[in-house]
Structure formats: C-alpha cells, structure tokens
Structure 1
C-alpha cells in the first residue's frame, strides 16, 4: 500500500517529475536546440540577402518578410500589412493574376516609403502550409541591369551607325573608281572591254555594300535580293540586240559578307561570260540561275541554252574572268564543274 503521508506523496511526485524532465532534456532538448539554431541561421540568411522576400496569403496579406526588404523599401514591419500597399495601383490587377497561378514571373515596381519606385524582376510560387495556400515572392532589384542594358543598346546603335556609314562610303568609293575607269576607257587606246569588265566587278562589290547599309543586319545580306539586282544590272550593261530570257530559282538564303562578296564576283564573271559568248550566232537565249541549300552545302548553278563551253578548258582557260572564278571557288573551299550539253551549266558547291 502506498504511504498516506502527504509529504511522502509529494516526494514521490517530485521524484517521478524530475525523472521525466531529465529524460526529456536528455532526449529532445539537443534536437530542439539544433533545429532552433538552424532556423536562426536560415532567417539570418534571408534577412541579409539582397532580394526582396515576402510570404503572403491568397488575399495578399503579408505573413512574413525579410529584414533587408524592409530596410531597402524604408518600412517597418508594422507599416505594411498587405503586398498591395507596396505595389502601384496600376499593377494590382497584374499581381492578382500572378496570385492565381502556381508560379509566375514578371517585371514589377515596388513602392518605397519615400514614394520612390524600385523596378524588380518578381518571381512567385504557390506553396502549401498546413493545408492553406501561400505565395512565396522573391523580387530582385533590376535598376542596375536596366541601366546597363540601355548603355549597351546605345553603344550598339552607335556601332550600327558607324558600320552603315562605312558601307555607304565603301560603296561611294567603289563607284568613284568605276567612274574613273570609265573616263580612262574614253581617253585611252587600251581595250574598252577590259575597263568594262573591271567596272562590272567593282559594281558587283559596291552592290553588296549598298545592300548592307540599307539593311538592319550589317554583317549579312539576303543573297536572293542581291542576285536579282546583279542579274538585272548585267542585262542592262550588255545590250546585245538579242532576246535573253532569265529563269531564277533562288532560295531566301542569308550569307555573311565574307561569303557574299566572292560568290557575287563568281556570279558576275559567269553571267558576263554567258552574255558575251553563249549566244553567238543566235537571236535569242535563256539563262537559268539556281541557288539553293543542299543539307550542309550551298549550290549555285548558272546554265544557258547557248553554244556550250568546252569542259576541258574550265581550269586551263587563259581568260582573266575564269581564272578569277577558279581562285574565288578555292577561297570558298568549294568545287567547280561544267557540263556542256544543249548549252552549258556551271555548278559551284561549297559549305554553307
């Protein structure tokens, strides 16, 4: 039988309670203390991050906010109770739309305590705590980034203007050279045909610079547009008193300047050769120009229904034009071939 002595009962109670308290301290207190320290470290981390971090409920009520947000925005925790108090009125509907999504991102300004604004990139994620939805909002100040982007944009614009001016002046200088050659041809005993061919080569390069400074892309050109203009210029440049029809099958392919210039000169030489010699003894003729992509390669074909071209003369010709074609094809690391059947067909294949 237990003692009826009240003091005995109290001693027994204290012994039992003391044993329990010691057990709890021994088994749970170290874990609780470590967990508490972890929470303190995590809170310190959030409080000192540069980002604005908010935890809000589905109605926008601020449940928690990191210390650095309050410091940067110039508020105390008691000053703001809703996220809508620091979002400009005109953005409220946009933010409500964000709250309706599981995750979202957009640029949004935050109102400072002094009335100023901080432009941020805001990311929002919906999470569950004890069965209720909350929004975790992480916003980053992007004013510095925006200023840098603006400086880069202005710098690029200045460079584009300089490049346009460079291409414009290059085109004008090439035109001056062409005009000087024309004057020289009028006053010299040398073959005017030689000056004419040189002029056409210069014009083919000037046309590329003209197209470059007129376009938004200063490093590449649409070769279809260029080829159509070049062919038109050459047809006007060689009035033969014959009916020459052109058939064009040119894909919309954009080429770098370093590729477009040699390819343009190749086209100029082959078309000039065709216009001068292919239709000898004929009243009319047809020229077909094809330019297309074949997997990793580009293929240019210039064909005619004229008198044909000796296939064995392609790499042995003493003609300056064909010598130039061979040099330029090697520059493009391409292959040049010709077939002479019912006319001639020059084909160039190169990597592109």
Structure 2
C-alpha cells in the first residue's frame, strides 16, 4: 500500500483510494485532501463527503455501492467543496469492490478534472461561436450579392448605351464589398469594426481602379475611435461608394485640373456620426438639389434609408458636397 501511495505523492489532481468503503481502515494519497480541501489530520471517512455531490444520481449510486448492490462505480460529478456551491469542482471517480484471501476489499481513484472540463467547454463554445460567425458571413455575402444584382439590373436599363459606366460602378462596388468581407472574415467581432481601416483601404482600391486612369486624388480623414457594427458599415460603405462614383462620373471634365474627392468622418455625439464628402469639380445645378433627378441619387437615398441615416446637399466653395448623418449603433442580429 505504501508503495502504491508513494506513486501518487506529487499529484494534487489525482488520488489513489485504498479501502474507500471502510470507515476505519483506509488510506488515501495526498491528492485526495487537496481535491476535497480537507485537513488530513482531522478528516474522518464520513458520508458527508458524498452529500456534497451535486448530482443526485451519483449520490444514489454511491449508496448502492456502500450497500453492495453494485460492485463497481464510475462517475463524473460536481463537488461542492465543504458544501459551498460557490466553490465547485468537477471530478471523476472509480471504485471497485473485490475479494482477496476470502476478504472483501475496495480500491479506487479520484481525479479533479475541473481545469480540463473548463478548457473543453471553452473549446466547445469557441467552435459554436465560429459556426455562428460562418453563418453570419454567408448571410452577408448572399445579401450583398442580391444588392449588387439589383444595382446591375437598374443600371442595365439606365445606361444600356454606356457599358463602361456600368463596369466602373460594379468594379467599385465589388471592390468595397470584397474589402468588407476580407476584413470581417478574419474577425470574431461584428459589432466593433473600425471605420478608418476600411476607408483608407477603400481609397487605395479606388485609386488603383479609377484614380490613376482618370487622374483623381482621394483624400480621407476619419476619427480614430469610430467603431461600427457590420449592419451599419455595409450600407455606409455602399453609400460612400455611390457618392464617390457620382462625383467621378459628373464632377470632372477631361481637362479639369487637380481633381480631388475628399471625405471627412467624425462623431457629432455619442449616437451619431457625420460624413462630409465633396469634390472640387464643376458643381451641380442648384435646381436639382432635391436628389430626385438620377438613378445614382435614388440608389443613394435607398441605401441611406437602409442605414437609417439622413443625407443632404451642402453648399461648398467649389464643386459639390453632401452631408450624411448616420447612427453609430444599431441592434445586432445574427442569422440562424
């Protein structure tokens, strides 16, 4: 017995139980007292330990073992240390009753698996969360492809003799949505997406797609701490994209000098963000400032409505400007 107990001497998570069913003559390795948090000198092999087990089925099986209705017990259970439900451990126990030399004996093992179980639960929750995130991404991709398809159908009718406009618009929209999906695919948080990162990347992609070809410079200023949910940032990026494409299409004649489109994002209070977007182009007819005179304006209005925002023309010294107000928070939902 001493040899066996010595083999468990350094273990605080696993204990050897020699004669655990004997009220007087029993030997436990040191790990048992660490697990149940009892003092070895004052501990007596009493049934109150069993009463600190949470699962009543396990308690009943212990009683059946004690009464010799069964000869073997193998259980995983929750243990209230000293009867305190605020201090619980998850344990595994195995006890076997056997005969040796015409005498009945018992031996068993007690293992504290609390840490392993916590890791297992955390891993399971992480896997479930990842599954939900994948569903979310797929749902967003589907919705955004439907939006692009709707835009394409509208523009095929409006610009049937100007295919280059359709191609430019679709390239820009696809680029913005691809950027959105690329970044959100590698995140676990769809509620706090930093706007500045997206706008800088969007400007770089627009420059490579159109800016270099048409000689347009894109300038953006974004307040660092604007973090938005995916429900807000998706239509917001599409609105920015439509406003930008409208400026590219209408603001600059071929020989216009220093073509520039600038954007400024800031918080105006805890609940509202503001975008000022303007170009230094030819400007717009003041009689058309009700945003009802083009397909592009209709698309912008509908996206702004989806965003639960508000958009208006603003007077600028040169060119055309818009002011978009948008919410900083929106109820987040995950598709099932």
TM-score bracket, shorter-length normalisation = 0.5 to 0.7
Question: 1:118 and 2:98 equivalent?
Answer: no
- For the residue of structure 1 that corresponds to 2:275, the secondary structure is strand
* Structure 1 residues 278-317: aligned runs within 5 Å: 278-280=251-253, 281-295=255-269, 296-317=271-292
- Alpha-carbon distance in 2 for matches of 1:286, 1:66: 84
Question: 1:223 and 2:195 equivalent?
Answer: yes
Structure 1 pair 285–150 and aligned structure 2 pair: CA distance change class (3 A): closer
Aligned length, in residue pairs: 241
In the other structure, the counterpart of 2:312 is 337
Report if the CA contact (8 A) 2:92-2:113 is conserved. no
- For the residue of structure 2 that corresponds to 1:292, the secondary structure is strand
Structure 1 residues without counterparts, runs of 5 or longer = 1-51, 75-104, 122-141
Larger Rg: 1
Question: 1:153 and 2:126 equivalent?
Answer: yes
- Alpha-carbon distance in 1 for matches of 2:197, 2:177: 14
- Residues 217-257 of structure 1: CA deviation (Å, up to 9, x unaligned): 35663322222222222222224543525243343433222
The one of the two structures with greater contact order (alpha-carbon pairs below 8 A, sep at least 6) is 2
Alpha-carbon shift at residue 157 of structure 1 (Å): 3.1
Question: 1:274 and 2:247 equivalent?
Answer: yes
In the other structure, the counterpart of 1:100 is none
In the other structure, the counterpart of 1:192 is 163
Structure 1 pair 270–72 and aligned structure 2 pair: CA distance change class (3 A): same
Structural RMSD (CA): 4.4
Which has the larger share of helix?
Answer: 1
In the other structure, the counterpart of 1:204 is 176
Structure 1 pair 151–244 and aligned structure 2 pair: CA distance change class (3 A): closer
Alpha-carbon shift at residue 108 of structure 1 (Å): 7.2
- Alpha-carbon distance in 2 for matches of 1:193, 1:159: 39
Of 304, 326, 331 in structure 2, the residue corresponding to residue 350 of structure 1 is 326
Report if the CA contact (8 A) 1:170-1:209 is conserved. no
Length-normalised TM-score, structure 1: 0.53
- For the residue of structure 1 that corresponds to 2:259, the secondary structure is strand
Report if the CA contact (8 A) 1:220-1:256 is conserved. yes
- Residues 278-326 of structure 1: CA deviation (Å, up to 9, x unaligned): 3335221333211122221011111233333345423244221112112
In the other structure, the counterpart of 2:204 is 232
Alpha-carbon shift at residue 215 of structure 1 (Å): 2.7
Report if the CA contact (8 A) 1:291-1:300 is conserved. yes
